[in-house]
Amino acid sequence: MKLLLVGEYKNGNIDDSFYELVAFAGKLGAEAVAFFVAPTDIKPEFNGKVYIADVEKAKEYNPKVHRDLILKVAEKENPDYIVLSHSSYGWDLAPRVAYKWDAGQISEIVDVDNDGFVVPFCNAKLRRLLKPNTGKAVLTLQSGAFAPAKEGSASVETIDVDVADEGLEFTGFEIVEKGGVDLTKAEIIVSAGRGVGKKENIEIVEKLAKAMGGELGASRPVVDAGWLPPERQVGTTGQTVAPKLYVACGISGAIQHLAGMKKSNFIVAINKDKDAPISEVADVFVVADLLELVPILTEKLSS
Ligand SMILES: Cc1cc2nc3c(=O)[nH]c(=O)nc-3n(C[C@H](O)[C@H](O)[C@H](O)COP(=O)(O)OP(=O)(O)OC[C@H]3O[C@@H](n4cnc5c(N)ncnc54)[C@H](O)[C@@H]3O)c2cc1C
């Protein structure tokens, strides 16, 4: 089996998500080559061949140019799968590449199994196993699902940017204003999940965060319900954080939440369900009603 891994070059660096694609290839035991639109002197830590299209010519993003360059490499290498991150870059490119390559597409893969690729569905409550029946396919990988693998040094080949841009112009990336709090810098985060039950109970978790000298975080349902603002959200569509201590209160541990916090140094989870999936990543898992336990912890820490 052969893979073409499409890496991303962002803000002057190879994005670490590339090494998650490398780990995926390793897990499949597949041969892999890689492709980047980047400066031609980048040096990915990857044991294999890397094709680079000069970012000066192909621009940081232009869907049609990037798509056609990927297909140019695919024609040379004839991979079984073209693999991208499930990022805004990958989301936008994958279906364009699949359509023109006449291939199927499987999105948001979180694991591999002998029989195929594991993909969450039903709001990540369930997982299904998918196998492309098109022979070749374009795959996107959920961020954080595969631990990055850095290995060796690549042999680099530059490819010509000789594809038409069809009238599109790259005007730049816009950085979204994050609001008042930057969770990525916090050393301690105490997060509230749907298990808090109602908006008025957020205060219980907020008091614990304050008593610990940490920041208040949240899972997505808490933000969707308007109990906390979006800049507090941890997860794939929120912040990716890696504090020294992460305390999850009433959070089940859906893959989209885990992707944003599982690299935390030490994880404490409080949940009344002993089988909650967050127990799989927690260093300390407390089976308790947070409405009872959290005020006691806050009081102990404050006295
Ligand atoms: C494309 C997409 C992107 C997403 N992005 C994100 C994201 O960025 N971040 C994110 O968090 N989610 C995200 N989600 C949603 C995600 O799939 C889950 O639905 C969400 O993380 C669940 O949040 P939760 O754990 O707070 O709620 P639930 O899954 O409802 O879990 C609540 C937990 O609280 C426990 N509980 C209930 N009462 C108590 C109590 N009194 N004491 C202790 N424990 C209690 C329950 O046992 C349960 O485990 C995304 C989903 C999709 C489809």
Ligand 1 and 124: CB distance under 6 A: yes
Average pLDDT in the chain: 92
Domain that holds residue 263: 183-302
Percent of the chain scored above 70 by pLDDT?
97
46 shares a domain with 7? yes
CA distance 104 to 123: 22
Between 120 and 204, name the one with better pLDDT. 204
Mutate to test the pocket of ligand 1, among 198, 271, 287, 292 (most ligand atoms within 8 A of CB): 271
Q: Lowest-confidence range among 33-47, 90-104, 125-139?
A: 125-139
Q: Do residues 77 and 4 make contact, with C-beta atoms less than 8 angstroms apart?
A: yes
Is pLDDT above 90 for 303?
no
287 shares a domain with 193? yes
- Shortest-distance atom of ligand 1 to CA 237: 8
| Predicted local confidence at residue 177, as pLDDT | 62
Q: Do residues 49 and 154 make contact, with C-beta atoms less than 8 angstroms apart?
A: yes
188 shares a domain with 87? no
Is residue 137 packed enough to be buried (19+ CB in 10 Å), middle (13-18) or exposed (0-12)? Answer: buried
| Predicted local confidence at residue 22, as pLDDT | 96
What tokens were used for 23?
């780990």
Average pLDDT over residues 18-29: 95
- Shortest-distance atom of ligand 1 to CA 290: 42
Q: 180 C-alpha to center of ligand 1: Å?
A: 24
Specify the residue with its C-alpha closest to ligand 1, atom 47: 273
Place of tokens 């990540």: 124
CA distance 84 to 65: 16
Between 112 and 11, name the one with better pLDDT. 112
| Predicted local confidence at residue 151, as pLDDT | 84
- Shortest-distance atom of ligand 1 to CA 276: 49
Is pLDDT above 60 for 178?
no
Specify the residue with its C-alpha closest to ligand 1, atom 27: 194
Instruction: Count other C-beta atoms under 10 Å from residue 129's C-beta.
Output: 13
155 shares a domain with 19? yes
Q: 258 C-alpha to center of ligand 1: Å?
A: 10
Ligand 1 and 90: CB distance under 6 A: no
| Predicted local confidence at residue 146, as pLDDT | 85
Instruction: Return the SS3 of 38.
Output: strand
**Any domain includes 170:** no
| Predicted local confidence at residue 167, as pLDDT | 80
DSSP 8-state assignment for residue 114: T
Place of tokens 């991150």: 85
**Any domain includes 280:** yes
Predicted TM-score of the model (pTM): 0.66
- Shortest-distance atom of ligand 1 to CA 192: 26
- Domain CATH code at residue 28: 3.40.50.620
- Domain CATH code at residue 273: 3.40.50.1220
Mutate to test the pocket of ligand 1, among 237, 240, 258, 296 (most ligand atoms within 8 A of CB): 237
CA distance 217 to 246: 9
Instruction: Count other C-beta atoms under 10 Å from residue 57's C-beta.
Output: 14
CA distance 205 to 110: 30
97 alpha-carbon distance from chain centroid: 20
**Any domain includes 113:** yes
Ligand 1 and 291: CB distance under 6 A: yes
CB-based contacts of 259, cutoff 8 Å, min separation 6 = 142, 143, 144, 145, 235, 236, 240
The radius of gyration of the chain's CA atoms, rounded to the nearest angstrom, is 21
CA distance 33 to 22: 9
**Any domain includes 177:** no
**Any domain includes 176:** no
Model confidence over 46-72: pLDDT tens digits? 999 999 999 999 888 899 999 999 999
CA distance 290 to 303: 20
Ligand 1 and 232: CB distance under 6 A: no
What tokens were used for 77?
């290498």
Q: Lowest-confidence range among 164-168, 247-251, 269-273?
A: 164-168
CA distance 102 to 259: 31
Q: Do residues 127 and 118 make contact, with C-beta atoms less than 8 angstroms apart?
A: yes
**Any domain includes 166:** no
Give the number of domains in the chain. Answer: 2
CA distance 33 to 28: 14
295 shares a domain with 195? yes
Q: Which residues share a beta bridge with 34? A: 5, 50
Q: 146 C-alpha to center of ligand 1: Å?
A: 21
